[in-house]
Amino acid sequence: GAVVSQHPSWVICKSGTSVKIECRSLDFQATTMFWYRQFPKQSLMLMATSNEGSKATYEQGVEKDKFLINHASLTLSTLTVTSAHPEDSSFYICSAGREWGTGELFFGEGSRLTVL
């Protein structure tokens, strides 16, 4: 199956700093990637849709200035949590699809962010 890689798998940072998470599609090109946030024992919450070469589309209630998304190439999307605070601590997961119109998505391994 298709492989989507996330980096880092976990990160600890101080409050007020910014953290960047990378999402790469390793064996296919993805014009669109998705970023999710997952709290313990809960489902995946879609944060934004990352579009290659254009601005991301954010879900209602997600602060676009807080969660900066850049999709500079067909294989890489980045999520930057700016001025992180303890409430931003969460599990962040990205996904990408190989063939649009089929809906099939492959997920990265996730990135655990802990803000002290």
Partner 1 sequence: GENVEQHPSTLSVQEGDSAVIKCTYSDSASNYFPWYKQELGKGPQLIIDIRSNVGEKKDQRIAVTLNKTAKHFSLHITETQPEDSAVYFCAAGGSTLGRLYFGRGTQLTVWP
Dihedrals φ, ψ of 88, to 5°?
-85, -10
Whether the Cβ atoms of residue 64 and residue 80 lie closer than 8 Å to each other: no
DSSP assignments along 2-44, one per residue? --EEEE-SEEEE-TT--EEEEEEESSS--SEEEEEEE-TTS-E
Region from 13-21, 64-72, 78-86, 94-102 binding partner 1, contact rule CB under 8 A: 94-102
Out of 17, 42, 73, 83, point to the residue binding partner 1 (CB under 8 A): 42
Structure tokens at 60: 């209602």
Out of 24, 34, 67, 81, point to the residue binding partner 1 (CB under 8 A): 34
The reply to whether 35 sits near partner 1 by the rule CB under 8 A is no
- As a whole number of angstroms, the distance between CA 3 and CA 98 comes to 10
The reply to whether 108 sits near partner 1 by the rule CB under 8 A is yes
Q: How far is the CB of 31 from partner 1 (least distance, A)?
A: 9
Out of 11, 13, 44, 76, point to the residue binding partner 1 (CB under 8 A): 44
Residues contributing to the site for partner 1 (CB under 8 A): 1, 4, 6, 32, 34, 41-44, 46, 49, 91, 93, 97, 100-110, 112
